[in-house]
Amino acid sequence: MTTVLPPRAGRQCHNALNPMHSALYFSPDLDREFTALGFTDRSAMRLAARSAALGAVGAGTVAATFYNYNHEFLSGHLPAVWETASPAEVLDARLRTADATLRRLLGDDVVASPEMAEAAELALRATEACTRHARPLYSANADLPVPEQPHLAYWHAATLLREHRGDGHLSALLAAGLDPVEALASHTATGKGMSPRWVLGTRGWRRADWEAARERLRERGLLDAEGELTEAGTALRAELEEHTDRLDSAPYEHLGAAGVERLTELGRGFLVAAAGAGAFPADLLGKG
């Protein structure tokens, strides 16, 4: 029996949980753990951390599964990162980073709280309805054991839900005919995506790539002369999210309306605390 959820309830829940996974990539704890493994390049650390569940993969696999990274940039790090540390070693370091990061951002009392245990239980229940087909990043992470400690189980479940939605979103981007840089540029134009500085610095694209993508979006009538979304561009971005919602509905329908509402409430509380503790750079999001 399909549960009827309020409009965008699943997306709102995702938006509360996803940043707690993403906080790892901005964490000084990741730098410490991965430096101890022998890494010296921050981009290599972060690429290894996210792709390790896939195994000792190369640039081609990561370009396909991450979608919006420059293959040439990836080739400068992959598969060479696996000469520094194996995927198993990276996954262990990733979990240690998650532990240290959550304790630093939320405090030991929150980490050990009944609310954290409740959030972990709810998030894991939602993942029971995730599907593996055509979802490589989700499926790879789903093969990993669920950590015993509730805060790490919560982080693990947030990771699964993030990658499940993300894998579906790639299908929506393909259907919309947006290439990697066009996808990034149109998202930034909404004001909710990463700023150009962060996009170019982390995804390996050049300013010329960015401007060329913006010009292609203008030719399609999706951006105006000032780089703002047109009515058609706004509609396309809205349809992308709605398409993604449809592909990602099963976990939240499985959890049910009350469970989704409670998990969203708990996740938002953790997120507000983490953001207040400096989990994310102040200039991460924005059009400028």
Task: Summarize pLDDT for 48-94 with one digit per residue, the tens.
Answer: 999 999 999 999 999 999 999 999 999 999 999 999 999 999 999 99
Of the chain, the percentage scoring pLDDT greater than 90 comes to: 98
Provide the 3-class DSSP secondary structure of residue 148. Answer: coil
The whole-number pLDDT of residue 4 equals 81
The whole-number pLDDT of residue 91 equals 98
pLDDT band at 2 (very low <50, low <70, confident <90, very high): low
Look at the block and give the residue holding tokens 């703002």: 228
List the one residue out of 45, 61, 77 whose CA is nearest residue 136: 61
* Mean pLDDT (whole number) for 174-183: 98
Tokens of 105: 């951002």
Cα angle for residues 81, 83, 87 (degrees, 5° grid): 65
* Mean pLDDT (whole number) for 184-189: 98
- Does position 3 have pLDDT exceeding 80, yes or no? no
Cβ–Cβ under 8 Å, residues 226 and 82 = no
Please, what is the average pLDDT of the chain? 97
The whole-number pLDDT of residue 231 equals 98
The whole-number pLDDT of residue 149 equals 98
Cβ–Cβ under 8 Å, residues 170 and 137 = no
Helix boundaries (H) for 80-135: 81-84, 87-106, 108-111, 114-127
Report d(CA 155, CA 147) in Å as an integer: 9
Tokens of 279: 């989990």
Cβ–Cβ under 8 Å, residues 171 and 134 = yes
pTM (2 d.p.): 0.96
One-character DSSP codes across 53-65 = GG-S--HHHHHHH
Report d(CA 29, CA 208) in Å as an integer: 33
pLDDT band at 288 (very low <50, low <70, confident <90, very high): confident
Task: Summarize pLDDT for 239-279 with one digit per residue, the tens.
Answer: 999 999 999 999 999 999 999 999 999 999 999 999 999 99
The whole-number pLDDT of residue 226 equals 95
